[in-house]
Every structure is written in C-alpha cells, then in structure tokens.
Amino acid sequence: MAVPCGDPDLRARLAQVTGHWPDYSNQEDLAKLGAEAFAFVNVARFAIPLRIGLALSTTPWVRDNVVQNIPFLAKKDAQ
C-alpha cells in the first residue's frame, strides 16, 4: 500500500538503509520512519542557533551598530 509522504527524501533514505520502501501497514517500518523524521528535525533545530550565530558574526554592520551598543559584547570586541 503506497501512501503519499510529505518528505520524499525521507522515504528514499529509508529505502536505501533498509533495502525496501516503507510499508505503512507495518508497525516496524512506521517506527523506523518516525525515528528518521525525529532525528532530522532535531538536527535541523540544532543548526538554527549555529546559522544565526554565523550570520551575526560575519556581518560588519551588526558588529559596528549592535555589538558596540551591548556592554558585555563591546568589552569582548575591544580586547
């Protein structure tokens, strides 16, 4: 039984790992699919602060206009 999935990459990765397409009537396949989705979401959530930090640290305007106005950050920048 083929059921459409919101993330085709998720199904393709699961098919590569297990050797077969996920069967939505099989509880074991549903558990594997859920674990894969859970891991993907947690990695994405972990990357958000890293992306924000990278964007803020590499933008000269932020350093000149924001960091200088925050006392504890300005001390670190002055050193």
Q: Please give the residue that has the higher pLDDT: either 42 or 1.
A: 42
Give the pLDDT confidence score for residue 76 in this predicted structure: 63
pTM for the full model? Answer: 0.47
Return the sign of the alpha-carbon dihedral for residues 23, 27, 30, 35.
negative
Torsion of CA 11, 14, 15, 18, to 10 degrees: -160
pLDDT tens profile 14-47: 778 778 777 788 898 888 888 888 888 888 888 8
Give the separation between CA 33 and CA 14, rounded to whole angstroms.
Answer: 7
Q: Residue ranges per domain, the chain?
A: 42-79
